[in-house]
Amino acid sequence: MTIQFNKNERPVVPARLYGVLAKELKNTNPSNANAITLNFRDPDYSAETGGYHPVEVRLEKQNKIWRMVYMTDFAFQGQPYPELAKEIDICFNSHQVYSALSGWLNPHHGKELLDLFIKNFISYYAMDAYQVEVSLD
């Protein structure tokens, strides 16, 4: 099924990201759902050996168009018992970008981080680094 995205999101994301989401949702029928969560996971990622950080993307339906709510990168943090925590978070509701190192940034100040994060995510996806799970709410 083809899903229509609201491509006027703020902060602005590249069309290639919508291509990744559409590819993962092509066999999904969200007609009765109000939200979709996509989880991109490297099954070998661990605090000990590293790997590709898990990424979660949340979409919500407004009328018949799907809009992004957030895109979050998780990483193991803390010692001596590392736990998965947000490292980068793009909040489309507040138009802000979060970094664990610097806190919340407005889109102007967070643009370089946002661009690098999404570019890397798309590259890792193209390398088949992730297993993807789709959940409907």
Average pLDDT, the chain: 94
| Residues paired with 58 in a beta bridge | 37, 70
Give the single-character DSSP code of 69. E
Residue 79 has pLDDT above 80, yes or no: yes
Other CB atoms within 10 Å distance of the CB of residue 115 = 14
Which of the two residues, 55 and 108, has the higher pLDDT score? 55
Task: Please identify which residue in the block is written with the tokens 């909040």.
Answer: 91
Q: Are 59 and 67 in contact (CB under 8 A)?
A: yes
pTM for this prediction:
0.94
* Alpha-carbon distances of 6 from 52, 62, 90, rounded to whole Å: 28, 9, 16
Q: Is the pLDDT of residue 2 over 90?
A: no
Q: Cβ distance 85 to 77 under 8 Å?
A: yes
Confidence tier at 1 by pLDDT (50, 70, 90): low
